[in-house]
DNA sequence: GCCGGCACTCCCGTCCGGTGAGTGCCAGAG
DNA sequence: CTCTGGCACTCACCGGACGGGAGTGCCGGC
């Protein structure tokens, strides 16, 4: 087990390295943090920390740099989430409050998070899987063509055009619309399949095929859209990444364009607990030199989606975590008010 | 006026420089292109071209590099748009054909364009201003709360929640919905204000306020959404930009995140004519070292939106222009079929 | 267990000198 | 007037040499 002072040394190393981006040596450490011991002692501690794999030297006779394991320990044991200032919180709130619709909320959240953390922000659209149906609308576009519009309680709208096997009359369509809404409005998505199961039976034989098509499309939409969309922003902050550019940045940009990768990344994050994935802890190849800080947010008690930031492993964890947590909270509040 | 051979020399310089990214000298030129004259002659021509401002030397005793003006001339006079191969065209078509909805079409277009050109692709969502109303739907969420859903002929859906000044009954709402659709379904957006102008008068006094709210929101949606959304992709290709990284790439990434900037950029492009903006021809500060190739696309005869790519001024203009043109055409076709 | 001192390691910036690609200019041939 | 070969010149670039400096490990004393 590491002594208290060694942990302090590790903490100091992380803090300095995050600040300067340069390997930190024993002398500089004792000067900047009042550790009350001499550089020589710190050197011994550093040797021990290196032995344990918490820090490393880029090359002999250079300062030390934290390893992924070092950051891990720092995040788990040594760092407190840094709360935002009152002014910042107020700014967040008022910025988010002036959003006009869901797209705007998400867009603003992304920009906010990117600006606060000066890193790349990723925000998932509120999920359909947890949410409920507010309304289903059916419109006849042509005799045998129907448009299905699904509206969720989070304010999201999905639409699909359906080619029907047979023409359907206005009356039957209105009937279907009414019955459908009576059954599933206000219900969870997961409940929908069960609730509409026997619906076709109550229709005339001639309309039954069409009803089945509509229901099939509805269920498909629910499933398909459970895989969410997301918005990213602040990619310009990647330029602050490091010096050896193309090599570092390229795979990150590529990963960021792969929605699937990002969704998986966010999916692995905890809902109420903030999750920090450091360097190689990230499964994806291109993100092994980044850390991801993510958390769920939601309107009310339950998390409906995730948001987070992607940045270099050498990031200001307390600050980033503070910003992510605060933004998640406020977005949740805003959504709940809508 | 420049002699024919000098133009050929300029063309050769552009081609070589685009290929190698290195200043091109007189000897290399005569070797790679059979100009049938000696390096010395070429040198004289290059001196003339430099005099006229078409090419420049990064420093004395280095090869020449085209200037913005040089690229301009190249694009205007010396280059033919390079058509895509049959196989490429088929691939484009089948890739776009399997899109399921509008979002998917735009998403696929962006990916396609980014991949074909190996640059950053920008695609604007089909505009509402040129398009027509397919259907307006009104849903009572609560006694004094109505949701407005607007569906366009391009398959786009916009929704707004309206807080009404007074409760409105189901019947009145259905009435309003019916009359509204009767008047504006199939009409151009620009016509809508005129068409709904006198609608409130035909309602009872108690509902009139609500009707006015609804109409106001509808018109607002039309105006607001005329400023379009867009999708970008292929940002990872920015890493192939050059060597002096952070400096070059940062402003570009920033510009790409500013929807306003991009929209303005695309807005300046011609509708049916492909537009190429080279280097400093771009008004925006951050894009002075990039070129933008853009063109309108549309379902049928009229362009409803723009698409294009952003890349270094040193880009393969014929190839890029070919890809942009081809993609725009096919997207137009796909949209027309929907 | 802590500390001062010391020798050692290497990165990094700087300063050459050589090399080579490229240029401008000139004089001569077509 | 245009093209061409020749020639001197200019720099960017590369590699090696070199010193300074920050950092380390280790040792012996408190």
Contact check, Cβ <8 Å, B253/A245: no
Provide the CA B33 to C1' C29 distance, Å, integer: 25
d(CA B106, CA B96): 9
Say if residues B328 and B117 touch (Cβ distance below 8 Å). Answer: no
- Residues B237 and B253 sit within 8 Å (Cβ to Cβ): no
The chain A residue lying nearest B246, using CA atoms, is A239
Query: How far apart are the C-alpha atoms of A80 and B251, rounded to whole Å?
Result: 34
Q: What is the pLDDT of residue B53?
A: 94
Q: Which of A147, A234, A238 sits opposite B151 (nearest CB)?
A: A147
Q: Which residue of chain A comes nearest to B217, CA vs CA?
A: A100
Q: Which helix (H) or strand (E) holds A233?
A: strand A230-233
pLDDT score, position B120:
97
Q: Which residues of B130-160 are buried (b: 16+ CB within 10 A; e: fewer)?
A: bbbbbbbbbbbeeeeebbbbbbbbbbbbbbb
B317 versus B153: the higher-pLDDT residue is B317
Residue with tokens 């935002």: A84
| Residue B208, CA distances (Å) to B177, B179, B202 in order | 14, 14, 8
3-class DSSP state of A222: helix
Chain B: closest CA distance from residue A100 (Å): 9
pLDDT of residue B2 exceeding 80: no
Q: How confident is the model at residue A49 (pLDDT cuts 50, 70, 90)?
A: very high
Q: What is the pLDDT of residue A6?
A: 93
The yes-or-no verdict on residue A307 having pLDDT over 70 is yes
Which residue is closest to A154 within chain B, CA to CA?
Answer: B161
Name the band, by pLDDT with cuts 50, 70 and 90, for residue A166.
Answer: confident
How much is the pLDDT for B118?
Answer: 96
Q: Which two tokens stand for residue B136?
A: 């307006």
What pLDDT digit, counting tens, does each position of B210-235 carry? 889 889 988 888 776 666 788 999 99
Pair of tokens at residue A81: 């989430």
User: Please, what's the largest Cα pairwise distance for chain B?
Assistant: 90
* Chain position carrying tokens 């748009």: B81
The pLDDT, as a whole number, for residue A73 is 96
- What is the per-residue pLDDT for B244? 60
- Which is more confidently placed, B103 or A235? A235
Asked if residues A212 and A250 have their Cβ atoms less than 8 Å apart, the reply is no
Q: Which residues of A touch B (CB under 8 A)?
A: 101, 103, 134-135, 137, 139, 141, 147, 149, 151, 155, 157, 159-161, 229, 233-236, 238-240, 245-246, 249-250, 253-254, 256-257, 338
* Per-residue b or e along A81-101, where b marks 16 or more CB atoms closer than 10 Å to that residue's CB: beebeeeeeeebeeebeebeb
**DSSP helix/strand/coil, A34:** coil
User: According to the 3-state scheme, what is the secondary structure of B201-234?
Assistant: HHCCHHHHHHHHHHHHHHHHHHHHCCCCCEEEEC
Q: Which residue has the higher pLDDT, A294 or A199?
A: A294
Provide the pLDDT for residue A227.
60
Q: Is the model more confident about B123 or about A146?
A: B123
Q: Can you tell me the distance from the alpha carbon of B163 to that of B160, in angstroms, rounded to the nearest whole number?
A: 10
Task: Give, in Å, how far the C1' of C1 lies from the CA of A278.
Answer: 35
Q: How many other C-beta atoms lie within 10 A of the C-beta of residue A44? A: 15
Minimal-distance CA residue of chain B relative to A253:
B236
Chain pair A-B, CB pairs under 8 angstroms: 78
List bases, strand D, within 7 Å of protein CB: 3-6, 9-12, 21-27
Write down the mean pLDDT value for chain A.
Answer: 88
pLDDT score at A246: 62
How does strand A120-124 pair with strand A133-142? Answer: unpaired
**Which residues does A223 contact at the CB level (< 8 Å), separation at least 6?**
none
pLDDT at site A223: 73
More confident: A227 or A106: A106
Q: Is the pLDDT of residue B243 over 80?
A: no
d(C-alpha B300, C-alpha A335), whole Å:
40
Statement: residue A142 has pLDDT above 70: yes
Any idea what DSSP says for residue A85?
P
Residue whose CA lies closest to nucleotide C10 C1': A61
Q: What is the Cα–Cα distance from B251 to A220, expressed in whole angstroms? A: 42
This prediction has a pTM of 0.81
φ, ψ for residue A197, nearest 5 deg: -50, -50
Confidence of residue A244 (pLDDT cuts 50, 70, 90): low
Please give residues of chain A from 49 to 108 whose alpha-adjacent beta carbon (CB) lies under 7 Å from any atom of strand C: 59-62
Task: Kindly list the protein residues whose beta carbon lies within 7 Å of any strand D atom.
Answer: A 23-28, 39-40, 43, 46-47, 50, 57, 60-64; B 5, 36-38, 40-41, 44, 59-62
Q: Which of A122-126, B47-51, B316-320 has the highest mean pLDDT?
A: B316-320
- Residues in B whose CB is inside 8 Å of some CB of A read 101, 103, 134-135, 137, 139, 141, 147, 149, 151, 155, 157, 159-161, 229, 233-236, 238-240, 245-246, 249-250, 253-254, 256-257, 338
Tokens 């309304």: give the residue: A135
CA distance B16 to B78: 14
Which residue's structure tokens are 């890349």?
B311
Comparing B103 with A317, the larger pLDDT belongs to A317
Q: What is the 3-state secondary structure (H, E, C) of chain B?
A: CCCHHHHHHHHHHHHHHHHHCCCECHHHHHHHCCCCCCHHHHHHHHHHHHHHCCEECCCCCCCEEECHHHHHHHHHHHCCCCCCCHHHHHHHHHHHHCCCCHHHHHHHHHHHHHHHHCCEEEEECCCCCCCEEEEEEEEEEECCEEEEEEEECCCCEEEEEEECCCCCCHHHHHHHHHHHHHHHCCCEHHHHHHHHCCCHHHCCHHHHHHHHHHHHHHHHHHHHCCCCCEEEECHHHHHHCCCCHHHHHHHHHHHHHCHHHHHHHHHCCCCCCCEEEEHHHCCCHHHCCEEEEEEEECCCCCCCEEEEEEEECCCCHHHHHHHHHHHHHHHHHHHHHC
Asked if residue A245 has pLDDT above 80, the reply is: no
Q: Which domains does chain B show, CATH number per domain?
A: 4-78 (1.10.10.10), 86-126+228-337 (3.30.450.40), 129-225 (3.30.390.60)
- Percentage of chain A surpassing pLDDT 90? 46
Cβ-contact B135, B157 below 8 angstroms: no
Q: Name the packing angle between helices A170-184 and A205-224 (round to 10°).
A: 50
Q: How many helices (H) and strands (E) does chain A have?
A: 12, 10
Distance from CA of A254 to the nearest CA of B (A): 6
Contact A35, A42 (CB under 8 A): yes
Range of weakest confidence among A149-153, A267-271, B29-33, B121-125: A149-153
- A 10 A CB-CB count for B307 gives 25
**Alpha carbon of A327 to those of A113, A200, A205, B127, B216: distances in Å?**
7, 45, 53, 32, 33
Q: What is the pLDDT of residues A75-98, one digit of tens each?
A: 999 889 999 999 999 999 999 998
Q: Assign B255 a pLDDT band (cuts: 50, 70, 90).
A: very high
- Whether the per-residue pLDDT at A129 is higher than 70: the answer is no
**Which DSSP state fits A309?**
E
B323 vs A111: CA distance, rounded Å:
32
More confident residue, A35 or B63: B63
Residue B306 near residue B106 (C-beta atoms within 8 A): no
Q: Which of B135, B161, B253 sits opposite A139 (nearest CB)?
A: B135
Task: Name the residue among B101, B235, B254 with its Cβ closest to that of A253.
Answer: B235
pLDDT digits (tens, 9 = 90+) for B273-322: 899 999 999 999 999 999 999 999 987 666 678 999 999 999 999 999 99
Which residue from B264, B282, B250, B295 is spatially nearest to B117, judged by alpha carbons? B295
Assess contact for A269 and A296: CB atoms under 8 A.
Answer: yes
């Amino acid at each position: 087990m590491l002594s208290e002072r060694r942990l302090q040394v590790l903490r100091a190393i992380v803090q300095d390295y995050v600040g300067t981006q340069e390997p930190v040596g024993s002398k500089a450490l004792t000067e900047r943090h009042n550790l009350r011991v001499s550089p020589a002692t710190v050197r011994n501690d550093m040797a021990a920390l290196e032995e344990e794999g918490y820090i490393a030297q880029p090359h002999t006779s250079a300062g030390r740099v934290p390893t992924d394991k070092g950051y891990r320990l720092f995040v788990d044991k040594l760092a407190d989430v840094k709360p935002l200032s009152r002014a910042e919180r107020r700014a967040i709130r008022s910025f988010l409050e002036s959003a006009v619709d869901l797209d705007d909320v998400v867009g603003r959240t992304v920009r906010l998070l990117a600006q606060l953390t000066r890193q790349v922000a990723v925000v998932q659209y509120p999920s359909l899987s947890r949410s409920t149906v507010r309304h289903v609308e059916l419109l006849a576009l042509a005799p045998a063509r129907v448009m299905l519009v699904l509206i969720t309680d989070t304010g999201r709208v999905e639409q699909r055009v359906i080619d029907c096997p047979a023409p359907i009359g206005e009356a039957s369509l209105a009937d279907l619309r009414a019955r459908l809404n009576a059954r599933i409005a206000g219900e969870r998505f997961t409940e929908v399949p069960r609730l509409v199961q026997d619906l076709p039976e109550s229709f005339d034989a001639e309309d039954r095929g069409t009803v089945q098509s509509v229901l099939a499309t509805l269920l498909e939409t629910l499933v398909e859209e459970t895989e969410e969309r997301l918005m990213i922003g602040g990619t310009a902050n990647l330029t602050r990444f490091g010096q050896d550019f193309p090599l570092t940045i390229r795979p990150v940009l590529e990963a960021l364009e792969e929605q699937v990768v990002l969704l998986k990344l966010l999916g692995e994050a905890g809902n109420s607990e903030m999750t920090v994935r450091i360097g190689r802890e990230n499964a994806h190849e291109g993100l092994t030199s980044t850390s991801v800080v993510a958390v769920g947010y939601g309107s009310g008690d339950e998390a409906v989606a995730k948001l987070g930031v992607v940045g270099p492993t050498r990031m200001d964890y307390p600050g980033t975590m503070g910003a992510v947590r605060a933004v998640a909270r406020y977005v949740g509040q805003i959504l709940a008010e809508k």
